[in-house]
Every structure is written in C-alpha cells, then in structure tokens.
Amino acid sequence: MIREPLETLESGDASMLSPQSDLAGANDTNDASEVSVDTIHNDNKAALGDDNSGCACCAKPDSHADCDDHAAHADHTDHMSHMGMEHAEHSEHSGGHHHRRGLAVLLPSQHHHMGHEAPSGNPRIVFMGNPNVGKSTLFNAVLGANATVMNAPGTTVLVESGALRHGEATWDFIDTPGTASLDAISPDEQVSSEAAMARNGYPQPNVIVAVMDATSPSKSLYLLSQLIDLGRPLVVAVSMLDLAKRQGSTLEIDDFAALVPGVPFIQVDGRTGKGKTELLDAIDRQLSAAQAIQTTQTLAQPVPPQPAQLQPIPPVTTAAIPGREATQDEVSAWAQQTSDERFAWIAGKVTELNRKQPAVDKPTFSDKLDRLLLHPIAGIVIFLAAMYAVFEATTTLAGPLIDWFDVTFRQWLTDGIDWVFTLVAGKEALAGWFHGLIVDGLLDGFVTVLTFIPPMGIMFIILSLLEDSGYLARAAFVMDKAMRAIGLDGRAFLPLVVGFGCNLPALASTRTLPDSRQRLLTGLLIPFTSCSARLSVYIVLAYAFFGRYAGLAIFLMYVASIVIILAVGLALRKTQFRDLHTQPFAMGLPPYQMPKVLQLGKSVALRLWAFITGASSIIITMIVIVWLLSAMPISAGAAGNNTFGHVDEVENSLYGAVASGVAPVFEPAGFNDWHASAALITGFVAKEVVVGSMAQSYAIHDSGNESEQQQGTGTLGQAVRASFERSSGGHASAAAAAFMIFVLAYTPCLATIAEIRRQYSGKIALQSVGMGLVVAYILAIAVFQIGRLL
C-alpha cells in the first residue's frame, strides 16, 4: 500500500466534466506514472456510476426515478451541471493549494477549503460517527501523515482529509466532525450532514464509513439508521469492543454484524491500528461491488445472483430522503417525520443485542473514577489542579528547552555560519550586511520558530493524553456552567488557562473544541490572556514607575487580563456571535482508556510538523522584514558613515523613522515617544524582545546579567521615566500604566498571528490584530486620561 498526499493528485482534479477530459488532462499535465493513476480514477468513476451513470446502491441503471428505495437519487439528472459548478469552483480554489513561502505568505491568499472543490475523480470515502467514538483516531491511523486539516467551505469548521493509495487505486478520505444525527444543530454537524448527504455542493460519497462505539451501541445505531437510509455503500467500523468486553459485555463483532445483514462490520482500534487492513479491504469490496453491478448494468447483461454483501440494504424508514438541494430545515423535517420508525428499529436492535449478553448493572471502572472526577467539589478542585499542571508544564518545564534553543543552539548555528563566511570570504565578511541578514534575519526567524517547539510539543502531548484518556469530555462537563456566561464550552477553559503561559499552545488546544463557532470565539479571546512574555515588560515598568507598589501593579495586569477577556467575550457574544446559542449540555461520556504511547508519539509528531510547516514561513518573513527596516539608514548618523546593514542608532534607520511616524498616535495615551512606539513595533514580533529593544533605543548596554527588576530600577528605568515624563506632560506613572495595558491587550506576537491564520484564516488573523489594537488603544487612552486626574 502506497500513500500519496492529496495535493500531489490535484492535477487530475480539473477533469470532472467528462471522462475524455479526464484523460486529456492527465496526459497534458502528469508524468507517466500519474497518467496511469488518473486512468484508473477514470475507470473507477465510470464503472462506479457514482455521479451520472447510474445508481450503484440499488443496481438500477442511469435513472434514479426507478429507484423506489432511494428517492434521494432522483436529483441525479442535474448532476452533470452540478459537477460543472464544482469544476468552476475548483478553478478558483486551485491556486490556494500551492505551498506559499517567503514574502508570498503576506499576500492575500485563498484559505484552504475542502468539500466544494472539484472531486479528484477518486472514490470518496466519508467517515461519519458520533462525538467521542474514536472516529478521528481511526481516521489518523488509516491516513497517517497524509491527513491534512482544513476548513469546510465558508466556515471555520475543521475537516480532515487525505488521499490513500490502495492497490491500484487512490481513494480520497474525509473525516467529518462528530454528530449525533444528520439533523444538524451546529455548523460542525451541518458539515457532516452535508458531506454524507452530498448536499450544498458536496460530492456523493462512494462509501460511508460509520464508526460505531461498542460501549454505547444504541447511540451509534441512531446515526447508522439514517446513513442506511441514504442508500450509499456502507462499512461499519466498530470501535472500543475490547473496552466493552472489559466492562462485562460478551458481544462479538459478529453479533454487531448480525444487526444489519449485508453491511460489513469491522472491529477497529484507532489507537493501535488494529483492523485498519480489514477496514480498507471492506471499503475495497464495497467499491468493487458497486463497480461490478454498474458494469453489468452498462453491458445490459442480466444481473447474476449476488452475494449478500452486494445486495441493496433495506432502508430503516420509508419516507422520501431529502435531495441534494434540500435545506437543513427539510432534513430536520425528514428526521422528525421518521423518528418513530427509527426509534422502534433501534429498540429492536438493542433488544437483539441484549438477548446475547447479560445486563450489566454493576458500576464500571469509569463510573468509579467519575465519582471522584465529576464530584461537585472534588471534581472542580481536581480539574483546576490539572489545569495548573498543564500551565506549569507549558511554561516551567518548557523554559529550559526554550533557552537551549535560544542560546546554545543559536550559538552553534551562528558559529557554523561564521565559520562558513570566514572560509568563503574571509573574516571581513562577518561585518557585511549579508552576514547580518543571515544571522540577525533568517537565523533569528528560524530560531524563533524552534523556541516554540518545546511548549507546543508539551501541549500536544498533554492534549493527546487528555483526549485519549477520556478526561477532556469530563472537563467540558465540570466547567460547563462557569464558561456558559460567555457562551463557551467547558473545554474552552483549558486554552484560556494555557494562554497565561503562552498563547501559541493555547491556540493549538482550541482544536479540542468540537463546535467551530466556540473554537473561533476562544481563538479571538486567547490573545488577551497575559502570556509570560509580557511579564518582563510589566516588571521593568512596574519597578521603574511604581516602586514598592510594583507587585500590586503586576498583579493588576493579570486581573485586567481576565476582565478584558470577559468584557470582549460578552461583547463578541452580543455582536459577531449572536448565533452562539446556549444549548442543553448532553454529552456521551466515553469510558476511560489508557493512551497508547506509539499512537501518542505519532500524533504529537504530526501536529508539531503541521505547526512548523504552517507557521514558520510567516514568522521568518516578518523577522527578516524587521531586520531590513532596521538595516536601512535614513541619515548619515553621528559619524557620517551609516550604510545598509550598518546603522549606528535605531532612530537613524527606517525602523526608527517608522516608529517616530507612529509615535504621535499615542499622544492621548501619554506616550508620544519614538522609543516607546519602536518597542511596541518590536513587541508585535515578540514580547520577549520589548525590553531589549527599549534598552537598544536608549543606547543602554544590555549585559544580559541584569534581572528585569534591576533594569527597572537602573539606567533603563531612569531613561524610560525621563521619556514618559516628557511625553505625558508630568504624568509619567499614568503613561506607564497606559503603556502596560497597551502591551497586555495588543497583538501578543507574530507567531500567534501565524497560528491564528493557520487555524482559522487570514481574515480572522486580521480581525484578531485589529481587535487587539483597538481594545489596547481605547484602554490605554482611558487609563492615561483617568490616571492623570488621580
């Protein structure tokens, strides 16, 4: 089995109008090996009759009007034009799939989307299942590194997809968000519903893989009954069967298979990869069966007797299935209209299962653990302790590793670069602008990316542990009430806590939120959590301006951070997120499981790689731009020998000119001073360098041995006090408080912006930056204007 990333196959995408164009496109654009792949795709497509040749599931050729059982297919007659639309859409989208590097990342880009894009012509395998059934774990076990996360069209709903070569064919896999029903109540569920029902421009799935939790079969049976009615080829992956057995169940995979004769049921364990091969074989059989039936129909031969798994599965309900143009309201009406039949079907199936196993009434291991972890008081205490541990791990534990990358590894690389420069161009090359660009621009950007690996890696390990063990679902429940005030899930507490350590892993942890709107709201609030990098700025200014009240001033910054989060959260809830309804909290709790080390390691490595490849280009590019600005002289300088790459003072560089140009904007906030605005511009790149930038702008030598407190009470503190005294008209403390609140509220760092862009979109990243600047500016003015009156 050879795996191939989806992107490598996209040259064949623009070929959905006809099989001929498919082949032509392949010959025009692909090398020989890829041509053979596309030819196979074409064969598959024609043979499967997926979209315009016939109804594979009921074995009736061409006309779905004759297909009594599958009313949903009645709209296939307009499918050719529909595919044309997808083709046109793809033409627009295709540019967005090329990897953008360097300066290109700063240009407007089409965010990665899936679903509405033209299908590649490969069979489309759609994973469906309830939340917390192990669907995504299974998906990742099947796809591995080939899985990429992207947004569903026009939404911030995250959907994983990827291509996999199986034998001679390549299949496209889509993992949809967990849903209890095709009757969606959230944007995430709507994406799942549309992907399964091929509505709203989604292509028809060739096979639906329904993931079923063996520990809660009745919950899974409801969704399964709806999927059966869709009439698409189906494979059921049964997860957690081993866990059900440990809880006392005596059911085997055959007992589940007997529930729906004709549908293959495969026992799987995404954590170990068990059942992966069998699952792929079952998908292959379903595809081949559909192909065989279609071939027979096309050749007008009499249908030979079919084995059980090739025969159409009788639908659970008899009502007409909403077509591809159906609205969500029509799907809701269908779900409600058929619910009694469906509930009766489930009751029958559960009775069937119960006949085969004794009733298990005794408390399970998970029940016993939940007595403690969900206890009204102990549960909250344990949760807060767990959050504290996460916070400590992503800050204290990551600290030495960050320092190692930032100091030791940076020195190794610098020494190596110096050695190469000396070897190639002699010692004088070390003083040249090109060496500066490489060391202070590119290398600095590269090392900055590396310094984020420890906190991100630790965060990903913790997230995997929390998710895989089943505790994260409990955390959502424990903190549900507290987070409802701002319309968030209890799980949003985790990212917000982690944000006080570092915003970057906090953003990464929003992926655990199942609702895309909540995920977006949390992502917009995280930059207002006061990360540890901002602390260095608070300390210097607090000791410089507030003396013995410095501790109180720093503490108030953290209080201010919480107040801003609540205020902005409530404001967003009343405006952009008015649609965020507070729905009843009703969630299936998965049994506790021991995470598998190998799977965990793989998952962490994949997530880290996605972060590095997704965020590094913008971080490095911006750092190089800042270097270029500071390397360009705008005046000859005191000695009259400023040249590109050799500027004596920051204020004589283009960077200093920009800072001077920006400074008057801060007049109402009391810090119309180019040193302050230069520090804020540098702080946009990273808050860690704000103090260093200030020292540099005042031409104060930073020995690196002074603590922030010493810097605040020393020469740097005096210089800043003198500047703020001038700029504020004698209200330096008020101006310092305004500056601190501005540092708290505006954009935390470039890496955060890159991560927001990676997770949501460029538009959302811009919104985050804009919102941070506006909030920071308004608060800074308010603090200064009130402060000067005191």
Q: How far is the CB of 313 from other proteins (least distance, A)?
A: 21
**x/- contact string, 198-227, with other proteins (CB under 8 A)?**
-----------------xxxxx--x-----
Tell me how far apart the alpha carbons of residues 80 and 62 are, in angstroms, rounded to a whole number.
13
Q: Given candidates 4, 52, 284, 343, which one binds other proteins under the rule CB under 8 A?
A: 343
Closer by beta carbon to other proteins, 518 or else 768: 518
Q: Site for other proteins (CB under 8 A): which residue of 377, 423, 789, 790?
A: 377
Q: SS3 of 468, please?
A: helix
Instruction: Pick between residue 344 and residue 636 the one whose CB is nearest to other proteins.
Output: 344
Torsion of CA 539, 540, 542, 546, to 10 degrees: 140
Count Cβ neighbours within 10 Å for each residue of 600-628 and write b for 16 or more, e otherwise.
Answer: bebbbebbbebbeebbbbbbbbbbbbbbb
Residues 584-623 that bind other proteins (CB under 8 A): 584-589, 591
Indicate which single residue of 379, 454, 455, 505 sits in contact with other proteins (rule: CB under 8 A).
379
Cα separation, 630 vs 398, whole angstroms: 31
CA dihedral sign, ordered 379, 398, 741, 712: positive
What is the footprint of other proteins within residues 234-293 (CB under 8 A)? 244, 247, 249
User: How many C-beta neighbours within 10 Å does residue 322 have?
Assistant: 24
In the bound state with other proteins, the residue whose beta carbon lies nearer, of 186 and 509, is 186
User: For other proteins, which is the closer residue by CB, 360 or 559?
Assistant: 360
Q: Near other proteins by CB under 8 A, which window of 363-371, 561-569, 642-650, 651-659?
A: 363-371
The span of 51-59, 267-275, 333-341, 703-711 binding other proteins (CB under 8 A) equals 333-341
Contact call for residue 477 and other proteins (CB under 8 A):
yes
Tell me the window of 147-155, 401-409, 476-484, 687-695 that interacts with other proteins (CB under 8 A): 476-484
Q: How far is the CB of 348 from other proteins (least distance, A)?
A: 14
Q: Pairing relation of β-strands 234-239 and 207-213?
A: parallel
> Contact with other proteins (CB under 8 A): which of 480, 648, 706, 725?
480
Whole-number Å distance between alpha carbons of 176 and 190: 10
- Phi first, then psi, for residue 114 (nearest 5°) are -135, 175
Q: Which stretch binds other proteins (CB under 8 A): 147-155, 359-367, 568-576, 661-669?
A: 359-367
What residues contact residue 148 under an 8 Å CB cut-off, 6+ apart? 5, 6, 7, 112, 160, 161, 162, 610
319 touches other proteins (CB under 8 A): no
Sign of CA dihedral 228, 230, 235, 241: negative
What is the CB neighbour count within 10 angstroms for residue 597? Answer: 9
For tokens 């977006």, the residue is 520
Q: Which stretch binds other proteins (CB under 8 A): 367-375, 601-609, 628-636, 750-758?
A: 367-375
Member of 371, 574, 578, 763 binding other proteins (CB under 8 A) = 371
User: Total number of residues binding other proteins (CB under 8 A)?
Assistant: 45
- The pairing of beta strand 124-129 with beta strand 207-213: parallel
- Please give the helix or strand (H or E) that residue 54 lies within, else none: strand 54-55
Q: How far is the CB of 463 from other proteins (least distance, A)?
A: 20
Task: Please report how close the Cβ of residue 180 comes to other proteins at its closest, in angstroms.
Answer: 6
Helix (H) or strand (E) holding 173: strand 169-175
By CB under 8 A, residue 626 contacts other proteins? no
How long a stretch of residues is the chain?
790
- Secondary structure E strands in 539-582: none
Among 367, 406, 667, 725, binds other proteins (CB under 8 A): 367
Establish if 333 lies at the interface with other proteins (CB under 8 A): no
When the beta carbons of 491 and 757 are compared against other proteins, the nearer one is: 491
Structure tokens at 365: 């291991």
DSSP single-letter state for residue 729: T
CB nearer other proteins, residue 214 or residue 402: 214
Q: Which tokens sit at 721?
A: 């006090």
Q: For other proteins, which is the closer residue by CB, 177 or 683? A: 177
Q: For residue 440, state whether it binds other proteins (rule: CB under 8 A).
A: no
Q: Is 348 in the site for other proteins (CB under 8 A)?
A: no
CB of 160 to other proteins, least distance (A): 25
Contacts of 782 (CB under 8 A, 6+ apart): none
Name the one range near other proteins by CB under 8 A: 295-303, 361-369, 559-567, 699-707: 361-369
Cα–Cα distance for residue pair 728/253, rounded to 1 Å = 75
Give least dist CB 587 to other proteins, A.
Answer: 5
Choose one: 18-26, 35-43, 134-142, 364-372; the region binding other proteins (CB under 8 A). 364-372
Nearest by Cα to 749 from 506, 391, 553, 539: 506
- In the region spanning residues 181 to 200, those forming contacts with other proteins, defined by CB under 8 A, are 181, 183, 185
Angle between helices 365-373 and 471-478 (to 10 degrees): 40
Q: Is 578 in the site for other proteins (CB under 8 A)?
A: no
CB of residue 380 to other proteins, shortest distance in Å:
6
Backbone angles phi, psi at 339, to 5 degrees: -65, -40
| SS3 (DSSP) at 347 | helix
The residue among 170 and 366 lying less far from other proteins, judged by its C-beta, is 366
Instruction: Please name which of 471, 698, 740, 679 lies closest in space to residue 591, comparing C-alpha atoms.
Output: 471
Residue 30 vs 357, nearer CB to other proteins: 357
Question: What b/e string do you get for 462-492 counting C-beta neighbours within 10 Å, with b at 16 or more?
Answer: bbbebbbebbbbbbbbbbbeebeebbbbbbb
Nearer to other proteins, 441 or 590 (CB): 590
Q: In terms of CB distance, is 125 or 473 closer to other proteins?
A: 473
Quote the CA–CA distance of 717 and 731 in Å, as a whole number. Answer: 15
339, 422, 593, 710: which one binds other proteins (CB under 8 A) = 339
Binds other proteins by CB under 8 A, chosen from 84, 95, 261, 363: 363
One residue of 360, 425, 552, 570 binding other proteins per CB under 8 A: 360
Give the containing element (helix H, strand E) for 267.
strand 265-267
In the set 366, 561, 672, 752, which binds other proteins (CB under 8 A)? Answer: 366
Q: Which is nearer to other proteins, 584 or 640 (CB)?
A: 584
Pick the closer one to other proteins by CB: 148 or 247. 247
Minimum Å gap between C-beta 584 and other proteins is 4
State yes or no: residue 478 binds other proteins (CB under 8 A): yes
**350 is an interface residue for other proteins by CB under 8 A:** yes
Residue 375 sits in the site that holds other proteins (CB under 8 A): yes
What is the C-alpha to C-alpha distance for residues 790 and 787, in angstroms, rounded to an integer?
5
- Indicate the pairing of strand 265-267 with strand 234-239: parallel
Could you say whether residue 583 binds other proteins (CB under 8 A)?
Answer: yes
CA Rg value for the chain: 30
Contacts with other proteins by CB under 8 A lie at 180-181, 183, 185, 215-219, 222, 244, 247, 249, 335-336, 339, 343, 350, 354, 360, 363, 366-367, 370-371, 374-377, 379-380, 473-474, 477-478, 480-481, 583-589, 591
